[in-house]
Amino acid sequence: MKKLIIFSSTLLLTAAVFAFAVAAQAWNINGKYNISFSTNAASGIFKTFKGTIAFDEKNLAASNFNVSVDVASINTGNALQNKHAKSDEWFDATKYPEIKYASKKIVKTATGYQVTGDLEIHGVKKEFSIPFSFKQAGNGATFNGTFKVNRNDFHIGKPGGDVDDVITVTVAVPVVKA
């Protein structure tokens, strides 16, 4: 019986050490992030961004992003545009209050990294890749990326019209070690 207890304890301790060794560094999102978008007819920011980030340049397999943007936090600098963007003609913030992104894999590229995961906007979920850079300084770091989203893929607004179909999104997310 004593040998079984020692064996079980050793096995549990080994599993705990292994689990700790493969976990990526957890990061807390700093409140000074910037999630901005631009088109020919409108530009602005989303003021509320939250989520969990685990990222380790040496252990990309254990790294992941699970983040969301509060659609109602959209700010174009124009109250009427904000109201219109939140309406059921565009984002329908009441029915779809969040834009969500959950990573599936992260790979190193020639210019930084690329994360591939599920992007969900307006109730539509699609696999989506985002290029980004990661700059660490002490206990802090910043994730930066610029990418394009076709709003028609997510049934936002009517195709064509005054607003470009392709929206440029720029993110700058400062983080600190958790």
What CATH number did the domain enclosing 110 receive?
Answer: 2.40.128.110
- Domain assignment present for 89: yes
- Domain assignment present for 3: no
Average pLDDT over residues 6-16: 43
- Domain assignment present for 18: no
Q: How confident is the model at residue 122 (pLDDT cuts 50, 70, 90)?
A: very high
- Domain assignment present for 124: yes
**Predicted local confidence at residue 160, as pLDDT:** 80
- Domain assignment present for 4: no
**Predicted local confidence at residue 98, as pLDDT:** 98
- Domain assignment present for 154: yes
145 is in which domain, residue-wise? 25-177
Please state, in angstroms and as integers, the Cα–Cα distance from residue 145 to each residue in 33, 36, 84, 129, 148, following that order. Answer: 12, 11, 27, 11, 10
Give percent of the chain with pLDDT exceeding 70: 88
- Domain assignment present for 19: no
pLDDT tens digits for range 24-47: 999 999 989 999 999 988 899 999
Number of domains, the chain:
1
**Predicted local confidence at residue 162, as pLDDT:** 84
